[in-house]
């Protein structure tokens, strides 16, 4: 399952492209090609296990709930 925090965008405050690129809504940054494989759970990657950004976001959300 693709990371729920992944979006495909053509622009942000700093950049504008003529195509959609992988974008992390946690860091508010475009994602590198290698990292995008984790976001998309390609190959043997799983964003829940392999993305430190996603893990930190989940932990932060849990802390907010406490």
Partner 1 sequence: MSYQDYLDDKKVILTVATTGGIHGKNVNPNLPEQPDEIAEHVAACEDLGAAICHVHGRNEHGENDASRLQAVNDAIRERCDDIIIQNTTGGQSTLEARIEGIRTDPAPDMASLDMGPFNRGDHIITEHNRHNIRTLAREMKERGIKPELEVFNNGHLNEVYRLIETGLLEEPYYINLIFGSGTFTMPSPENVLNLVRNLPENSEFNLLATGPHQLPLTTLSAILGGHIRVGMEDNLYYRRGQPAESNAQLVERTAKIVDLLECDLATPDDAREILGMD
| Contact residues for partner 1, defined by CB under 8 A | 8, 14-15, 17, 19-22, 29-30, 32-38, 40, 42-43, 45, 49-52
Minimum gap (Å) between residue 59 Cβ and partner 1? 15
Minimum gap (Å) between residue 50 Cβ and partner 1 = 4
Q: In terms of CB distance, is 5 or 21 closer to partner 1?
A: 21
Q: How far is the CB of 66 from partner 1 (least distance, A)?
A: 25
**CA angle 24–26–9, rounded 5-degree value:** 30
* Rounded Cα distance, 61 and 64, in Å: 5
Q: Which of 55, 62, 54 is nearest to 5 (CA)?
A: 54
Other beta carbons within 10 Å of 53: 18
């Amino acid at each position: 399952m693709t990371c729920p925090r992944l979006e495909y965008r053509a622009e942000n405050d700093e950049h504008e492209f003529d195509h959609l690129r992988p974008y992390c809504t946690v860091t508010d940054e475009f994602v590198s090609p290698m990292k995008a494989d984790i976001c998309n759970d390609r190959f043997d990657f799983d964003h829940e296990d392999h993305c430190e950004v996603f893990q930190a976001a989940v932990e932060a959300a849990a802390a907010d709930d406490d």
